[in-house]
Amino acid sequence: MKVFIAGGDGYLGWPTAMNLSANGHDVLVADNYLRRNMSLEEDVEPLYEVPNLIERSRLWLKKTGKKIDVRIGDLADWDFISSIFKEFKPDAVVHYAEQPSAPYSMLNRRAALLTINVNLNVTANIIFATREFTPDAQIVKIGTMGEYGTPNIDIEEGWINIDHKGRSHKFLYPRQAGSLYHTTKIMDTDLLWYYVRMWGLRVTDLMQGPVYGIFTKETKDDERLLPFFNYDELFGTIVNRFVVQAVTGYPLTVYGKGGQTRGYLNIKDTLNCVRLSLENPADKGELRIFNQLTETFTVNELAEKTVKAGEKIGLDVKIKNIENPRKEMEEHYYNPVHTGLIELGLEPHLLTQEVLIEMMNVVIKHKANIAEHKIFRGTKWD
């Protein structure tokens, strides 16, 4: 398959590019380095330096003999995106090209508007370019479990049947996001659903939970191919943050009561989910939604797992419940259905002690780079 990865430089974009390339697909990636530049602007660079996208592609070619084409530019710019579609004619588009952080979107008005503009404009351009140049191509979009919020009923995979006054109809599952970032992802889904209905696009929307991890099959023996690893409040997701905190002796930052439950997955499973979705495409005129997670746990349970893993390698890990900078439910019901991807063949990698220790060992190697002031800045969401 010819796969165009929009946002190919990010935490998930680059590992996905290597994984698809290793599995025989012809890959082109595009990125404008937004994520790198935001980290730099906010003084929250990742744990270790990551070569630029062109250099990574060169390293990959040297290692495997396989070429990943790179284009640097802004996908909200029609001339740039349309030139890629005209030239490459993708069979599939994987859409990661968004401002990916909930806390960043809550920083200030500028960050909020950047999030709205980037996320909606790029999604719209991908839809328009697909329709104009490759109408049969499938779009695989990274959505988020945060689109659903934390409702007091089970979370279905995207759709729900409503019986009302003796009649019934299937709707997108009700969505109530907790951050502006998550709200833009709801708007993305609405845009996609509208154009699926109008233009018969084929779309898979993957509602993903927080991802953790560093290694994938393709990175194991070459550190220069590793993805970004952020541990700061803006761009670090909780598991990666806790691992860094454990290594550096910073008490684990449990927000509020710590009963917040989310559906997590290993970065290896993100790659497998995206590949399985591509290799089993949605039909024309279908918006297919999968909940992309492999297990659920609370922040408190994660903190306990981190303490136990740390103990095994001689780390004295402390937990500290701190005032929650976010506005979210700290104790709630959470039961998402997540069978669709398993039915396609996903074999989950769970968050075992070994996985946490493997991550801790990488972080220990780069311990000298950890800047404590980056860990917590307490940006209030309300």
Please list the active-site residues. 144, 181, 185
- Check binding of 158 to ligand USQ (CB under 6 A): no
135-154: which residues touch ligand USQ (CB under 6 A)? Answer: 144-146
Site stretch for ligand USQ (CB under 6 A), options 25-33, 83-91, 250-258, 340-348:
250-258
Terminal Cα-to-Cα distance of the chain (whole angstroms): 45
SS3 category, 107: coil
Binds ligand USQ by CB under 6 A, chosen from 255, 358, 362, 364: 255
Between 284 and 332, CB nearer to ligand USQ: 332
- Considering the rule CB under 6 A, would residue 237 count as an interface residue with ligand USQ? yes
Amino acid present at 247:
V
Q: Dihedral through CA 60, CA 344, CA 10, CA 148, nearest 10?
A: 180
241 is a site residue for ligand USQ (CB under 6 A) = yes
Using the rule CB under 6 A, give the single segment among 73-81, 84-92, 129-137, 235-243 that binds ligand USQ.
235-243
Q: Is 328 in the site for ligand USQ (CB under 6 A)?
A: yes
- Tracing tokens 């136990």 back to the chain, one arrives at 308
- By beta-carbon proximity to ligand USQ, the closer residue of 101 and 266 is 101
* Binders in 271-310 for ligand USQ, by CB under 6 A: 299
- Smallest gap from residue 153 Cβ to ligand USQ (A): 17
C-alpha to C-alpha distance for 93 and 139, rounded to whole angstroms: 5
Q: Does 268 bind ligand USQ (CB under 6 A)?
A: no
- Shortest CB 246 distance to ligand USQ, Å: 12
CA distance 213 to 220: 12
Residue closer to ligand USQ by CB (options 17, 265) is: 265
| Residue 366 · residue 47 · CB < 8 Å | yes
Q: Does 377 bind ligand USQ (CB under 6 A)?
A: no
Backbone CA torsion sign across 306, 228, 258, 262: negative
CB 298 within 8 A of CB 244: no
Residue whose entry in the numeric block shows the structure tokens 């890990």: 317
Least distance in angstroms from the C-beta of 62 to ligand USQ = 31
Residue 132, CA distances (Å) to 18, 125, 356 in order: 28, 10, 45
- The answer to the question of residue 326 lying near ligand USQ (CB under 6 A) is yes
Q: Measure CA 297 to chain center.
A: 18
Is residue 238 within the footprint of ligand USQ (CB under 6 A)? yes
Could you say whether residue 95 binds ligand USQ (CB under 6 A)?
no
Tokens encoding 87: 């030239």
